[in-house]
Structure formats: structure tokens, C-alpha cells
Structure 1
Amino acid sequence: MDAFEQFYEQYSSLVFHIALKMMNDRMEAEDICHDVFLEAFRKAEQFDSKRGSLEAWLAVKTRSRCLDRMRRQKRTICEDAWTDMPTAIESITPEERVIRRLDEEHLYEAIQQIPKTQRDTLIGFYYKSQTQQQIAQKMNYPLGTVKSLIRYGIQNIRKHWNGNPLGSASKEERKHE
């Protein structure tokens, strides 16, 4: 098995589940999955392990690809239905593209800043489409702990997003880090 096959085998489930959850279409999700892996393999030098995990990098790339695909589909449907309307109305401006990219980078950084247990539960729940019960079994935690980790993870991402230091967690929050 070559490097690309190993890479694909290890992370394809994550990428596919994110795409499937966002697109709600198996064929679209498969297309996006293949696109993401080709891009990731071609641009592997852009990955910086100091900034975060490979899973988070792939999750952000998958989300971006899904949003691009949704935007393109919306524009195509609109152009088909309203051929006389200017397509510029539906297109994204360069400023919006920059803002979206900065938001994605900020989210990626925020995910990397939260404690690993919180990050793992959030990735499992939101990106791998695992139930809280499945996560609890996999991590060998009680269900209530998994629910708390998800809640605290979201709170910590919000704190990071709003510019608050993540180290200012309460005593109860630190207990689950």
C-alpha cells in the first residue's frame, strides 16, 4: 500500500462523514471526499502540525469544499431558473472569501487550543457523526462526562472566538480537561 492509500484509508471516514452531514447526498459526499484527498495530498506541505492536528486540517478543508459546492449548486439552480438575472447577485465577493477563510483559520486555531479530550469529543460528535453514547464507549467515559466535554469544548471555542484566554476556565471546567 502506498502513502496515498494509507492516508486515504486512515482519514476517509472522517472526511466522508463531514461531507455527508453537510451535503446530505452520498454521491456529492463521495465526490467531495475524493477532491479533499487529492488537494490534501498535493498540498501536504501546507499542513503545519504545530498549528493543529491533521484531522482538524482535513475537517476544515472538507467544510470549505462543501460550502463551495453548495454555493456553486445554488448559483447553477438560480441561473437555470432565472436566466435573465445577473449571476453577480449570487456570487461571493473577494472580501467575503477573505472573511470566510479567516473564519475557517480562526475556528481551526480555536479547535486546536481546547483540551484534547474536549477536541476529541467534538470531532467525534460533529465531524464523525458519532452519538454521545458511541463516544462514551470509545473513550471509556460515562455518558454524562461526554456531554460535559462537548459543552465545555463549545464554551472554550466561543471564548477563543471572542478573544478570551482559554486558560480562564472555571474549576468545574478544568476538572474535565
Structure 2
Amino acid sequence: MGEHNDSIQLLENISMGSRHSFDLFYEKHISFVFQIALHVTGNRAEAEDVCHDVFLEVYQKADQYQVSKGSVEAWLAIRTKSRALDRVRKKKPILRDKLEELLSGEEKGADKQFLSELEKDTIIEALKHLPKEQREAIYRSYFREETHKEIASTMNRPLGSVKSLIRYGLNNLRKQKSIFSRIDSNGGEKDGIL
């Protein structure tokens, strides 16, 4: 509890302009923030940039922390994840090209690369809009890494049908605005996502 109260006091001091309190707060929480940023971005340089953004925001908006809404760590975690996801989204202009490669069959293994590049949450949300059998086939193939034969056996469907379910499901995912709405024609982020 003392650690938590120390962080709250540091935030109060930061909101009154204390650079020393900011330095102490930074030292206390940088490792925590960096680990979250690195986990989301998967890249050290990007994670460092996210940390810079988060702590700049802390310095400028320390008074926005509210004890009633959770711990300082939770507040930092939410800000960090949000900034990291923003950064990842801005780096996704290649998504359309990868999807095109997948659907045209030009690149072997592009389907797994495509799905690994999307955020898992976005995919799961998009899958909810597919017919049940397409959703199940894609989920088993990409998240459980089952072979097409294993999926056919589990779903009691012919192998060719499973392959078709996956192909049609990926085509349906392609049509969903929830995947592409984050990318405008210039490769930047659009509003309204998450």
C-alpha cells in the first residue's frame, strides 16, 4: 500500500510541476511500462518510443489519474497499451498487401503470416461475424494450429470442405471493415477503432 501511496503523491507533485517527482516516478515505473510496450509492439525501438509518449503524457496530464478508478499501475498499463496499439496500427499499411498475397495464393505460408500480423483481438472480433463453420475452421487452423486433416476429422467434414471453409472464411474476413477501417489510403490510422 505504501508503494501505491508514494506513486499517488508523486503524481500530485508532478501535476504541480515538480520535475524531481517526475524523475522519481519515471525511475519507479519505466520497467513496468517498457515491458507492456515491448509485449504489444514486439520491437524494442517502438517500445522505447511508446514509453516516451506515455511518460510525456504523464508529465502533462498527471492530474487525470483518479484513485477511484484503480491503481497507478492499472492507469499506466491502460495508457501504455493504448499508445502501443496506436503505434502498431500506424505500422500496418502492409496489411492489405499481405491479405492479397494470402487470397491469391502467391506466397506460401502467407496465411499464418497474415494472421500473426493482425492483433489477435481484432481477428477474434472479426471471426464473430463469420458463419459458424468458417469461424471454427479458421480458429482451429490458425489459433490451435491443427492440420486440415485434424480439422476435417474433428468437424466430421471432408478435407476439401475444410479447405473451402477456410478459403471462404478468409475471403469474408477480407470484406470486413473491422480489419481495414484502421488503415486509410495513406496507411494511417482512422478514427473509431477500439
How high is the TM-score relative to the length of structure 1? 0.46
Which structure has the larger Rg over C-alpha atoms?
2
State the structure with bigger RCO (CA 8 A, min sep 6), 1 or 2.
Answer: 1
How high is the TM-score relative to the length of structure 2? 0.42
